[in-house]
Structure 1
Amino acid sequence: MKNTIFKGLATLGMAALAVGFAGSASAQSLLERAEKGEPIRIGFANEVPFAYPGEDGSPKGFVNAYTIGVLKTMGFENIEPVQTEWGGLIPGLNANRFDIVTGGMNILASRCENIAFSEPMAKVGDGFIVAPGNPKNISDYASLVEGNAVMVTGAGYSNIEAAKEAGVPEANIMQVPGPTEILAAVRAGRADAGAGTYFTMKQLADSSNGAVEASDPNAMPEDSFNWAGIGFRKADQAFLDKFNEAQAKYLGSEEMLAAVAEYGYGEGSLPGDKTTEWVCANR
């Protein structure tokens, strides 16, 4: 079996190259091209730790690592990374600029109308960072209310509405530009908890040298969870069927968990028994 080939593309000029591929790529199905040994182009944005480019353009992040593992299980190792903006992932996929979306995309009803998703590969919930030992016993949004705790999160994050719905007063919700400022606020004691996606909060905790710790994502209410999948063009259902077959063997294996561990994905992030059909209908 040949070695994996990563053909890193510079951010500038990438779109032009991708458009050049599009005409020839659309003439055959993804399965036909892959079986001929042609590159499988994976599309992603810069979303740490889900999927992002390394310094050399190689695909990093747990969704990229996972997808590459599934493709290897299928016997496909010629992988070409294509970075784009988050908003360009679905349009780029449908315009044949790349073949698979690996950006860490939640399966949502509105997205299911436009692309096909693999079976879920991760359960994605909210999480908190708190002071070591979690002195205010913060585990979910309700516990913020019980402890009269101050929560910090990013401006425009969905955590704001989730906290308000749980009864957290607006005066106890601090909004900052992003993850760096969330960590700074908790470290300085200006907030009792920082909120975001669990994966982002876990990464902040791991990088803090023990200054904060991440809460248990499974303590969050069920309706706050989403499920992420790998995106495909609806015309490539034949490839997706084979991908799902390989995923069923790879998901949760020791090999898979080892490949994604550095990005904060552990057994608690496995998707459980939810199917894509269920998620498309309920999210």
Structure 2
Amino acid sequence: MRFLTSKVPLLLLLLTFGGHSLPTLAQEKDSLLNWAHRVGQAKVALGSVPPWMIVSPSGEASGYAVEVMSLALKGMGVREITPVLTPWDAMIPGLLAHHFGLIGAGLVITEARCRVVVFSAPIIAMQDALYVVTGNPKHLTGFRQIAD
């Protein structure tokens, strides 16, 4: 439980700044967080990436990232999330068009994306790995050797 509650500040940043530039947010009378408190829910863009995020055909969201986000939002007074199953390449455009209030999917942080949206600190770090048979009989050292 301690692990889950330590993610609240990260999701607060996403909820507060998602879809808004900092100058715009400073000028708005009704921030995204205030709106989410008032209506009791947050519309969240999600991909379907089991076990982290799963959106069922009926629209129910589940998975590790969904549970962490739900706990954090509940701690901020937002009772529920409304998942919006969104293709990866439509998440940032949809956020900017206010189709949803935050992106709950694990988008890779790139320089180009940082020019457009504000990211929280990462809540997960993943690395690729190449698993080989004991002794590495084919002397594989990278993915390119497999692709060739």
**Which interval holds the TM-score relative to the shorter structure?**
0.5 to 0.7
Which whole-Å CA distance do the structure 1 matches of 2:117 and 2:92 have between them? 7
Which whole-Å CA distance do the structure 2 matches of 1:43 and 1:85 have between them? 9
* Equivalent position of 1:100 in the other structure: 102
Check the 8 A contact 2:52/2:64 in 1, yes or no. Answer: yes
* Equivalent position of 1:126 in the other structure: 128
Check the 8 A contact 1:41/1:81 in 2, yes or no. Answer: yes
* Equivalent position of 2:92 in the other structure: 90
Which whole-Å CA distance do the structure 2 matches of 1:58 and 1:41 have between them? 13
Alignment length, in residue pairs?
A: 121
* Equivalent position of 2:138 in the other structure: 148
Check the 8 A contact 2:95/2:101 in 1, yes or no. Answer: yes
- Give TM-score, length-normalised by structure 1: 0.38
Larger radius of gyration: 1
Structure 1 runs not aligned, ≥5 long: 1-25, 138-143, 152-161, 165-169, 176-283
Deviation at 1:33, TM superposition (A): 0.6
User: Per-residue displacement from partner, 1:83-110 (whole Å, max 9, x unpaired)?
Assistant: 1111100000110000110111122222
Deviation at 1:124, TM superposition (A): 1.2
* Equivalent position of 1:61 in the other structure: 63
Q: Match for 1:136 among 126, 131, 134?
A: 134
- Give TM-score, length-normalised by structure 2: 0.67
Q: Percent identity?
A: 26
- Whose RCO is larger (CA < 8 A, sep 6+)? 2
Q: Match for 2:73 among 71, 74, 83?
A: 71
Q: Match for 1:163 among 133, 143, 148?
A: 143
Which whole-Å CA distance do the structure 2 matches of 1:109 and 1:50 have between them? 24
Q: Match for 1:109 among 108, 111, 115?
A: 111
